[in-house]
Structure 1
Amino acid sequence: MRFLTSSALAASLSIMTLSVSGQATAQGMPPEQIKQILDVTKANWVAFRDWEGKQLIYFTHLESWKCGIDFVFYGLNDGQLDQMWELDECDPDNPNAVLKDKPYIELPAGSTQSISVQLVYPDGSKSSVETYQYKP
């Protein structure tokens, strides 16, 4: 699993504590601020895990910011971004809760060497395509 560096964590926390002006999302912050948080934390968008003879790729971080994301597209092993991760519906009363039973995709062990991910935000803009390498 990937973790935030101390500088990325500090930047993320400072972004989250900025005063909020203008229209806010369900998470109490404007969409531009959520995009900044997702940009700072992009190293954590997905995580690989080997479990009981299977390879799991977790989308937990993106699920926790689902109120600021419209779509998540991904592709495996340098393939096209032709698959979509379906985020749970945003709950304004509990926007960061990850309630999905399985916040991951399950694949045969060793079948995936990389995953590329791109987000589409509510304003229609897209993130850069981020690629994550499997490291056993």
Structure 2
Amino acid sequence: MIRISKLTALALCGLVSSGPVAAQNFTTAAEVRPILGMTRDSWVAIREYGGKDLVYFTHLLAWRCGLSEIRYGFNGAPPTKSFKMEKCHEGTAQPNAISGDNVYVSQPQGSVSEVRVKLIYDDGSTEEARFNRKAVLQ
């Protein structure tokens, strides 16, 4: 669950601002980096289902238009595996909409104790985070 203050939520919706609110599609690193920074704890989630650990990247995929790549690694491995993202739906009303079901990686149940994530933004900058199982298990 994403936990942000009411003021932050209003600012994200464009209802509170220090200046004029411009329409944004959240399709560039400059637009999505602040949101991903505030919602870091929601980048990944683990769900046990059908005898598997399903490691979800749904939150990151919802902001993928400002990313060029999502990389991950499990259990201390460096984040070198690339997560395949669907293309941004440029030119539509919802460019970040997720239309497919490729939102998770499947592993044997109980095998994922840690997830490392590296984001590569479309401007070439990077950001990394590490999540232990208990913190992201749903």
Query: TM-score if structure 1 supplies the norm length?
Result: 0.83
CA RMSD of aligned residues (A): 2.1
**1:17-40, CA deviations, whole angstroms, 9 ceiling, x for partnerless residues?**
25238xx6xx25653121101111
- Tell me how far apart the structure 2 counterparts of residues 114 and 28 of structure 1 sit (CA, whole Å): 29
**1:50-77, CA deviations, whole angstroms, 9 ceiling, x for partnerless residues?**
0011110001111111111111111100
Aligned to 2:75: 77
Taking a change above 3 Å as real, the CA distance of residues 46 and 13 of structure 1, as seen in their structure-2 partners, is farther
Taking a change above 3 Å as real, the CA distance of residues 31 and 104 of structure 1, as seen in their structure-2 partners, is same
Structure 1: give runs of 5+ residues left out of the alignment.
Answer: none
Taking a change above 3 Å as real, the CA distance of residues 62 and 28 of structure 1, as seen in their structure-2 partners, is closer
Aligned to 1:131: 130
Displacement, 1:11?
2.1
5 Å-filtered alignment, 1:53-72, equals 53-72=51-70
**1:75-134, CA deviations, whole angstroms, 9 ceiling, x for partnerless residues?**
10011112011111000213121122231001100111010101011111111x211111
Give identity over the alignment, percent.
Answer: 30
Count residues with an aligned counterpart. Answer: 128
SS of equivalent residue, structure 2 residue 95: coil
The runs of at least 4 aligned residues of structure 1 exceeding 6 Å deviation read none
| Contact in 1 for aligned 2:120/2:126 (Cα 8 Å) | yes
Structure with higher RCO (Cα < 8 A, 6+ apart): 2
